[in-house]
Amino acid sequence: MNENNSSKIAKTPNESRAQSFWEMVRFALLALLIVIPIRIFVAQPFIVSGNSMIPTFYNNEYLIIDELSYRFHEPVRDDVVVFRYPKDPTKFFIKRIIGLPGDTVTIDGGKVTIKNTNNPEGFVMEEPYVKNRSSNQLSVTLKQDEYFVMGDNRIASSDSRIWGVLPRNLIVGRAFLRLLPLSSISYLPGAYSLNNI
């Protein structure tokens, strides 16, 4: 008889099942300890619903939202953000930041003009991402912690032109990754900057 074989003690099927079960429980707990904090504090998935951000985002695209960056700096003009809808915080919207706290946003048809302390004469926003410009006429001065947001597909977007300013505390985060469709995978999808004036 082989001495090495004689020293091994075979496990019963019940012992093997119990060991497998506890290994699975340990793995699940470890996964939860890693995934839950990331999901709550760092990033979360978001599926685009509707046509308000065409041509930047299309219906059913799968995004990862960065929830961490805005803990270290404020949102900037042209960031694409996901936020809780001010009229019903159980719903989430995705739009582009047009106006920042302290700005006066003036919309004259398809032209958007921003006035602020750095630009008292105002400047007209370049918006190459916009599809179907609107015919709105309005002017809004933003207070502290207020943002003016609009969809890129202006005629199909319910945004600050309709329901008013977006309070800072309702912003969840910015669009960080587009994962689906696979043909459109991208980092900071929708990013556009005119030096964030």
Confidence tier at 180 by pLDDT (50, 70, 90)? confident
> What's the pLDDT at 7?
52
Rounded CA separation 192/190 (Å): 6
Catalytic residues: 52, 95
Give the pair of three-digit tokens for residue 114.
Answer: 């921003």
In this structure, of 24-38, 45-59, 108-122, 162-176, the range with the lowest mean pLDDT score is 24-38
* Main-chain phi, psi angles of 37, to 5 degrees: -60, -40
67 and 176 Cβ atoms separated by less than 8 Å: no
**H-helix or E-strand spanning residue 124:** strand 119-124
User: Which whole number is the average pLDDT over 157-163?
Assistant: 95
Furthest-apart CA atoms within the chain: distance in Å: 97
| CA angle in degrees (0–180, nearest 5) for 60-65-71 | 160
> What's the pLDDT at 1?
45
Rounded CA separation 169/149 (Å): 14
Give the pair of three-digit tokens for residue 68.
Answer: 């961490």
CATH value of 41-187 in 2.30.42.10, 3.40.50.2300, 3.40.50.720, 2.10.109.10: 2.10.109.10
Q: Where are the domains of the chain?
A: 10-40, 41-187
> What's the pLDDT at 23?
77
153 and 95 Cβ atoms separated by less than 8 Å: no
> What's the pLDDT at 41?
52
> What's the pLDDT at 40?
54
Give the pair of three-digit tokens for residue 158.
Answer: 């319910």
In this structure, of 42-51, 114-123, 124-133, 170-179, the range with the lowest mean pLDDT score is 42-51
> What's the pLDDT at 24?
77
Amino acid identity of 20? S
- Cα–Cα distance list, 47 to 8, 60, 83, 178 (Å): 54, 6, 13, 10
Share of the chain residues as helix, strand and coil, in percent rounded to the nearest 5? 25, 35, 40
- Over the chain, what is the mean pLDDT? 84
Model pLDDT for residues 13-44, shown as the tens digit of each residue: 666 676 777 777 777 666 665 555 555 555 57
Confidence tier at 9 by pLDDT (50, 70, 90)? low
